[in-house]
Amino acid sequence: MEKETLIDVALKAELCALYQAGDRHYHNLAHIEAMLALAEEYRDLLDDPGAIEAAIWFHDAIYDSRAKDNEAKSADLAEKKLAGRVDPHRLARIAAMINATATHQLPPLRDEGALNDAALLLDMDLAILGAGPAVFDAYEKAVRLEYGWVEEPMWHAGRSAVLKSFLARPHIFHTTEFRDRFEAQARENLSHSLQALQDQP
């Protein structure tokens, strides 16, 4: 049976073009492909794989490191592009998942299946935090390049605050599956990164 996809060839080409912009060093097509691979790996746990795929494709479609509303704009784009091909309830669910990637807190979804999907999407988005040290280091460098306009003292302060906020959470990952696989390594990576920032003059 062919898998349902809400992203047709024309829309995929349009989104690929956005993800291939020159100022994207981490939030690019490789990030989307890594998340799609995880979605495939954990497909049996997903309530609505088609909605998850759409949310993955759109969640960083709008990305400007100077802006604070990238996720909201990405959700708006999804609603605009998917209107008419997805029922409104499902589209609202996709938009809620995209918006949740702004804070990586679970969105206020009442439906248990939708909430589970949102938890898995957020965990897929953060899986890079639990990657091996070399891959995590490359991720850190790529994110720094995306914020190349930020001067070093401001970067230190801002990045340290982000790392501390993740480390302060009872769990970085929402689902048992991702906690078991990535939590310990993610905490090690984030602690190491924070220490490196604090050691720099």
pLDDT of residue 109: 85
Residue 126, Cα to own-chain centre: how many angstroms?
6
Which percentage of the chain shows pLDDT scores above 70? 99
CA distance 106 to 116: 9
The answer to whether residues 97 and 51 touch, using CB atoms and an 8 Å cutoff, is yes
Q: What is the value of pTM for the model shown?
A: 0.95
Residue 134 pLDDT > 80: yes
pLDDT of residue 2: 55
For the ranges 5-9, 39-43, 135-139, the lowest mean pLDDT is seen at 5-9
- Tell me the per-residue pLDDT of 23-55, one tens digit each, with 9 for 90 and over: 999 999 999 999 999 999 999 999 999 999 999
- Tell me the per-residue pLDDT of 142-199, one tens digit each, with 9 for 90 and over: 999 999 999 999 999 999 999 999 999 999 999 999 999 999 999 999 999 999 998 8
pLDDT of residue 201: 66
pLDDT of residue 1: 45
Average pLDDT for residues 128-139, to the nearest whole number?
97
- Tell me the per-residue pLDDT of 67-111, one tens digit each, with 9 for 90 and over: 999 999 999 999 999 999 999 999 999 999 999 999 999 998 889
Alpha helices in the chain (DSSP H): 9-19, 29-41, 49-58, 70-82, 88-100, 112-126, 133-146, 152-168, 176-178, 184-199
pLDDT of residue 117: 97
pLDDT of residue 157: 94
More confident residue, 5 or 137: 137
Average pLDDT for residues 16-28, to the nearest whole number?
96
Residues paired with residue 83 on neighbouring β-strands, in sequence order: 86
